[in-house]
Structure 1
Amino acid sequence: MAATETLTAERILEATEEVLRRYGPAKATVVDVARVLGVSHGSVYRHFRTKAALREAVTERWLERTVVELRPYAEGPGPADERLTGWLTALFGLKRHKAGGDPELMATFQVLIGENSAVVDRHVDHLVGQIARIVEDGHREGVFAAPERDFATTARAVFDATDRFHDPAHAGDWSAPDIGDAFAAVVSLVQRALRP
């Protein structure tokens, strides 16, 4: 990198992800990130005050990708029941791809997620909010019943009911030969439970 002025938070986060992939969370340092960028570690600290803040930001960036990928199902056109199935299927697909496509990075982010519970809570709130929007749209369309309590509570129940297919704690199950059938059965059950 030619000058510190061209250093951006986004470039630092990209480099941090690369360093985490290469060294893992236990060995990755801010000095390693600075070395990849060709700057001093002080330049990195000008954007992120602490190593913990940098790790939190990279975790948030990683989780935000999922929210963005799912947004079309939450906000897009089409019948709500189809959007909900699409949303759940897309979430499961994204999680499976992350777990199988880059297991080292997935293991690294499991550690980071454990360190950043507030980031994870905000992420889950975003996901539950997306489900709530779909369920509320479905109620207006007449395909879903009125919630017993409120749309957010119903959305959280849907999220919790499908936990096996998005919580990385279950990643070991995601390559099982019958996982597709199990997923379809749970989605069908959720859909039936939501209908009027």
Structure 2
Amino acid sequence: MAATETLTAERILEATEEVLRRYGPAKATVVDVARVLGVSHGSVYRHFRTKAALREAVTERWLERNVVELRPYAEGRGPADERLGGWLRHLFAMKRQKAGGDPELMATYMVLIGENSAVVDRHVDHLVEQIAAIVADGIRDGAFAAADPDVATTARAVFDATDRFHDPAHAADWSAPGIEPAFEAVLSLVLRALRRA
């Protein structure tokens, strides 16, 4: 890092991702992050008080990317069933790409989410809120029936019903033969249930 560049939390998080990818979560240190940035480890600690806080922030940053990428489906226009199908397909595609495209980073991600369950819980809440927005639009437009007056409960049920296709615990299944038809069968079942509720 050039001496004139300002050290920001975002730059530290970028460097931390690089260090985690290079060394893995067991060996990556704050000193490694500082070395990549060309600063002292004390400079990193001014932004993140502990190594755990830094790792939590990296985890949150990774997870937030999913929320941002899925936002157009939640906030978009068009038939709710198509938006929900698109949202679920896109989530599955993102997860598969991460698991297959960068296995070392996925392994790191699994360690970090295990350390930061509160961050993961907040992330899941954000995803369920996006589903709830789509379901609420579908009920309002008549595409979905309202089985439960609490849209959040319905949204959580949709999230849970499709767990096999987005929970990293099932990542080994995502490259199995027949996974796409299995996904489409579950999606079809979910959409039929919402229409008939």
Residue 144 of structure 2: aligned partner? 144
Q: State how far apart, in whole Å, the 2-side matches of 1:18 and 1:191 are.
A: 40
Q: Given residue 33 of structure 1, which amino acid in structure 2 is its aligned partner?
A: V
Residue 101 of structure 1: aligned partner? 101
Q: Residues 34 and 40 of structure 1 are in contact (CA less than 8 Å); yes or no, is this contact kept in structure 2?
A: yes
| SS of equivalent residue, structure 2 residue 78 | coil
Q: State how far apart, in whole Å, the 2-side matches of 1:163 and 1:4 are.
A: 47
Residue 147 of structure 1 deviates from its aligned partner by: 3.3
Q: State how far apart, in whole Å, the 2-side matches of 1:69 and 1:103 are.
A: 21
**1:165 matched to 2:165:** yes
| SS of equivalent residue, structure 1 residue 188 | helix
Q: State how far apart, in whole Å, the 2-side matches of 1:123 and 1:158 are.
A: 16
Sequence identity percentage: 86
In the TM superposition, what whole-angstrom CA distance separates every residue of 1:61-81 from its partner, at most 9, and x where no partner exists? 000000000000000111000
Residue 188 of structure 1: aligned partner? 188
In the TM superposition, what whole-angstrom CA distance separates every residue of 1:5-64 from its partner, at most 9, and x where no partner exists? 610100100000000001000000000000000000000001000000000000000000
Q: Given residue 150 of structure 2, which amino acid in structure 1 is its aligned partner?
A: D
Q: State how far apart, in whole Å, the 2-side matches of 1:16 and 1:183 are.
A: 34
Aligned-residue CA RMSD (Å): 0.9
Q: Residues 4 and 39 of structure 1 are in contact (CA less than 8 Å); yes or no, is this contact kept in structure 2?
A: no
| SS of equivalent residue, structure 1 residue 12 | helix
Runs of 5+ consecutive residues of structure 2 not aligned to the other structure: none
Residue 154 of structure 1: aligned partner? 154
In the TM superposition, what whole-angstrom CA distance separates every residue of 1:96-133 from its partner, at most 9, and x where no partner exists? 00000101000001000000000000000000000000
Q: State how far apart, in whole Å, the 2-side matches of 1:42 and 1:125 are.
A: 34
Q: Which moved more, 1:138-147 or 1:157-166?
A: 138-147
| SS of equivalent residue, structure 1 residue 60 | helix
TM-score normalised to the size of structure 2? 0.98
Q: State how far apart, in whole Å, the 1-side matches of 2:100 and 2:58 are.
A: 20
| SS of equivalent residue, structure 2 residue 175 | coil
Residue 158 of structure 1 deviates from its aligned partner by: 0.1
